[in-house]
Chain A
Amino acid sequence: MNLDRRNFFRVLGLTGATLTIGTDLKANQEQDENHEPVEFYGILYDSTMCVGCQTCEFICAETHELPEPTDIPRIGEVRKTDETCRTVVNAFDSPIGEVDIKTQCMHCNEPACVSACLTQAMYKTKEGPVIWRGDKCMGCRYCMVSCPFDVPKFEYHSPNPKITKCDMCYDRLQEGQLPACVENCPAEALMFGKRSDLIKEARKRIVENPDTYYDHIFGEKEAGGTGFMYLAPVSFDKLGFKTNLQNKSYPELSKGFLYSVPSIFVLWPAMLLGLHEATKNKQIKNEEENE
């Protein structure tokens, strides 16, 4: 008897594990509503100042022990980040001449990759950078499927593959240093700081030099807000940016489904049992009729 009961609770516990789905999400949301919003750090990139020198690419490769980049930005050709390279600079032709655009992980406020990850290997640190933790990752690549910016990359040709992407030099940050690209940019096109300060600074630049800037901070609202934000001289669709992004965060898209899980877990079994009881007698009747 005793044993049976214990077993019963074990089963309940198992169900509980599946029930906890969604509670995390709720907890996060409540936190945002009731407390001061968490203050994330981020990077502001001003493409009007960028000279396309690729210093960020080289220093990023050096810092993370990756191979040196061998190609250069060319107009009409879009280079992409891959498993050996976490940031690239591309050149675009625009009405006001060449514009250079750096790409890397956007360090979203509510990252799709983090909500996709079933092992918490993708992780939004409280400081803001989104990092990847190899001891947890099982290599399912669901983060790649979900990231709206196609940032996480995978080492397809390794028996012990890693997911690679920009981590805003999280290790350096913890030692009190700036991200390598920010520290070494000779044109000072990159600025590190609190996200809210960066937005203020970006607004100020736009107001003070309305002729230089296109009036939009990319990343302030996109995908629910990102840690990495852009200023540009022309509209962003001319510079290879995705224009079909939503302003809601991406995890929002699957929240409805996840919220419905606990209620189904409670309602379904009760309903099924009820149906079973209701049809049992009918069955007996049928059998009698048949005989």
Chain B
Amino acid sequence: MNNTATISLQEEQKTKNTWKFLLSELKPKGKFFTPFNIISLPIMLLGAVLIVIRFWKGIGSVTNLTQDVPWGLWIGFDVVTGVAFAGGAYVITFMVYILNMRKYHSIVRVTVLNGFLAYVFYAGALLLDLGRPWNVINPIIGNSFGTSSVLFLVAWHFLLYMIAQLIEFSPAIAEWLGAKRARKILSGMTLGAVIFGITLSTLHQSGLGALYLMAKEKIHPLWYSEFIPILFFVSSIFAGLSMVIFEGSISHKVFSDQISEKNHKSHNKIIHGLARICAGAMFAYLFLHIVNFVHGQHWNLINSPMGYWYLTEMLGFVVLPLVLYVYSYRKMNILLIKIASVITMLGIIINRLNITVIGFKWDAASHYYPSWMEIVVTLAVIFTEIWIFRWIINRMPVLRESPAWAKSQSS
């Protein structure tokens, strides 16, 4: 009798401590008035105001969307481009868990976290763009399955993939909370989640391209092709990895206190290895584009403004970074690899926007340009994501080494 009482008391004490711990973790850490905070905070606040207006007065009150161009920056950039950049998570988990390339293990967590947050926020941006968001449950709970829709597939995969990524990341949360048993169970699920996640990613990365298959006459012929799904999939590989290179370089500066000496040293090796994979994927991508171009007999289109723009994209943002990756890989030039990653990312943004916005209804009388409000909301979404990212990095063992008990558990 007495015994049980002490135990329950202990339990109580424990939950109390957990609460205290969680509350203390909620408080911001570090200096508050950093340049990043000073720039991002007002934009986030303004973005929040704009979102309120959007739900109050309709989508047209903040966006420049028209009856001709129903999808603009929020879909073309936030969702389509953002998800391509989040592709790093499935590529890295593929390399580490499927191909057992241990070398890349130290960046798995941060990449998965990045991918997960990207999906949460960019799929969240999709909700902003829905005119009747309260009906979003229809295709989920199953009272209205539009199974012949590519968008149905993409939406479901977003949802399932977010769950898979959360499972992949969950051991870090368990380590943060000191939940030993939970960590053991959760890390046992990693391989399953990874396999499921890669399958989903293959399908929805290409699915984002397949969304535009039916808009055959609306997209400029230099960008429309039946291969869009494959092109989207292949480019998501190097888009994601370039993001990993870029983001990793920044994280290693900003969060340098979190990273162990060993990982600091191995990071350059990781970047170097990734450069080679990027180059390989980009080569395949370029090859597909050339086949597509020759096959589609588009020579006559080249001598036009859109044709020059196409050449700019291909030469300046595919061939150039490809050459840079190959060269810098050979010369072991880490700085050049980072530059190549930035150019690659710009190229992906340009490519996705060419299909979704710039080349969409390129021949219409009036063109769509995003309003400043669409841009502010987009920036606000990105900044919020970075805030949450920073919050997690500062608390959970993501860049930092796992606690000793977790390490002994896994071996």
A276 x B132 contact (CB < 8 A): no
With A and B bound together, what is the CA distance between A80 and B271 in angstroms?
A: 54
The interface residues of chain B lying within 8 Å CB-to-CB of A145 are 70-71, 211-212, 214-215, 218
The interface residues of chain B lying within 8 Å CB-to-CB of A268 are 195, 198-199, 202
A155 x B199 contact (CB < 8 A): no
The interface residues of chain A lying within 8 Å CB-to-CB of B176 are none
With A and B bound together, what is the CA distance between A117 and B155 in angstroms?
A: 12
A138 x B71 contact (CB < 8 A): no
Residue from B98, B152, B199, B203 in contact with A276 in the complex, judged by beta carbons closer than 8 Å: B98
B71 x A141 contact (CB < 8 A): yes
B68 x A264 contact (CB < 8 A): no
B153 x A18 contact (CB < 8 A): yes
Question: Is the C-beta of B231 less than 8 angstroms from some C-beta in chain A?
Answer: no
The interface residues of chain A lying within 8 Å CB-to-CB of B203 are 261, 264-265
A23 x B147 contact (CB < 8 A): yes
CB within 8 Å of A: which B128-179 residues: 129-136, 138-139, 142, 144-153, 155-157, 160
Interchain Cβ contacts within 8 Å, total number: 189
With A and B bound together, what is the CA distance between A34 and B75 in angstroms?
A: 40
B142 x A17 contact (CB < 8 A): yes
With A and B bound together, what is the CA distance between A22 and B203 in angstroms?
A: 13
Most B CB within 10 A of own CB, among A138, A256, A282: A138
A144 x B58 contact (CB < 8 A): no
Question: Is the C-beta of B226 less than 8 angstroms from some C-beta in chain A?
Answer: yes
Interface of chain B: mostly helix, strand, loop or mixed: helix
Give B137's nearest chain A residue, CB to CB. A138
Smallest beta-carbon distance B244→chain A, Å: 20
Question: Is the C-beta of B314 less than 8 angstroms from some C-beta in chain A?
Answer: no
Smallest beta-carbon distance A245→chain B, Å: 7
Which of A51-59, A96-104, A247-255 makes up part of the contact surface? Answer: A247-255
B132 x A137 contact (CB < 8 A): yes
Answer whether A157 and B61 are a contact pair too, CB < 8 Å, given A118-B139, A279-B98: yes
With A and B bound together, what is the CA distance between A82 and B145 in angstroms?
A: 28
A141 x B70 contact (CB < 8 A): yes
Give A144's nearest chain B residue, CB to CB. B70
With A and B bound together, what is the CA distance between A115 and B149 in angstroms?
A: 5
Question: Is the C-beta of B8 less than 8 angstroms from some C-beta in chain A?
Answer: no
A139 x B214 contact (CB < 8 A): no
Give B136's nearest chain A residue, CB to CB. A138
The interface residues of chain A lying within 8 Å CB-to-CB of B215 are 145-146
Residue from B63, B160, B216 in contact with A253 in the complex, judged by beta carbons closer than 8 Å: B216
Question: Is the C-beta of A154 less than 8 angstroms from some C-beta in chain B?
Answer: yes
Which of A65-73, A158-166, A183-191, A192-200 makes up part of the contact surface? Answer: A158-166
A250 x B57 contact (CB < 8 A): no
Chain A's interface size range is: 35 or more
Chain B's interface size range is: 35 or more
The interface residues of chain B lying within 8 Å CB-to-CB of A273 are 195
Answer whether A153 and B57 are a contact pair too, CB < 8 Å, given A251-B148, A253-B214: no
B67 x A139 contact (CB < 8 A): no
Give B230's nearest chain A residue, CB to CB. A257
B148 x A25 contact (CB < 8 A): yes
The interface residues of chain B lying within 8 Å CB-to-CB of A254 are 150, 210, 213-214
A121 x B70 contact (CB < 8 A): no
Give B61's nearest chain A residue, CB to CB. A157
A253 x B132 contact (CB < 8 A): no
Smallest beta-carbon distance B261→chain A, Å: 19
Question: Is the C-beta of A176 less than 8 angstroms from some C-beta in chain B?
Answer: no
Smallest beta-carbon distance B63→chain A, Å: 8
Answer whether A135 and B100 are a contact pair too, CB < 8 Å, given A17-B142, A115-B148, A142-B211: no
A157 x B147 contact (CB < 8 A): no
With A and B bound together, what is the CA distance between A272 and B215 in angstroms?
A: 34
Smallest beta-carbon distance B158→chain A, Å: 11
The interface residues of chain B lying within 8 Å CB-to-CB of A276 are 97-98, 100, 191, 195
CB within 8 Å of A: which B200-222 residues: 202-203, 206-207, 210-218
With A and B bound together, what is the CA distance between A275 and B215 in angstroms?
A: 37
Question: Is the C-beta of B65 less than 8 angstroms from some C-beta in chain A?
Answer: yes
Question: Is the C-beta of B1 less than 8 angstroms from some C-beta in chain A?
Answer: no
B226 x A161 contact (CB < 8 A): no
Residue from B57, B146, B214 in contact with A146 in the complex, judged by beta carbons closer than 8 Å: B214
Question: Is the C-beta of A173 less than 8 angstroms from some C-beta in chain B?
Answer: no
The interface bits of chain A over 188-217 (1 if a CB of B lies within 8 angstroms of the residue's CB, else 0) are 000000000000000000000000000000
A120 x B210 contact (CB < 8 A): no
Smallest beta-carbon distance A261→chain B, Å: 6
A275 x B156 contact (CB < 8 A): no
The interface residues of chain A lying within 8 Å CB-to-CB of B369 are none
The interface residues of chain A lying within 8 Å CB-to-CB of B133 are 138-139
Give A272's nearest chain B residue, CB to CB. B195
Question: Is the C-beta of A2 less than 8 angstroms from some C-beta in chain B?
Answer: no
With A and B bound together, what is the CA distance between A153 and B206 in angstroms?
A: 28
The interface bits of chain A over 132-151 (1 if a CB of B lies within 8 angstroms of the residue's CB, else 0) are 00111111111011101010
Listed by A's residue number, 14 A-B pairs whose Cβ atoms lie within 8 Å are A114-B148, A118-B155, A121-B144, A138-B138, A144-B70, A158-B58, A244-B217, A253-B213, A257-B206, A258-B150, A276-B191, A276-B195, A279-B98, A283-B102
A-side residues, CB < 8 A to B, are: 14, 17-18, 20-25, 80, 82-83, 112, 114-121, 134-142, 144-146, 148, 150, 153-161, 163, 242, 244-246, 250-251, 253-254, 256-258, 261, 264-265, 268-269, 272-273, 275-276, 279-280, 282-283, 286-287
Known: A155-B131, A156-B60, A163-B131. 13 other contacts (CB 8 A): A17-B145, A115-B149, A121-B135, A121-B144, A136-B138, A138-B133, A140-B130, A154-B70, A156-B59, A251-B148, A257-B150, A261-B153, A272-B195
**Across chains A and B, which 8 residue pairs bring their CB atoms closest together, nearest first?**
A139-B131, A156-B60, A118-B152, A139-B132, A141-B70, A283-B100, A144-B70, A118-B146
B-side residues, CB < 8 A to A, are: 55-61, 63, 65, 67-68, 70-71, 94, 97-100, 102, 129-136, 138-139, 142, 144-153, 155-157, 160, 191, 194-196, 198-199, 202-203, 206-207, 210-218, 226, 229
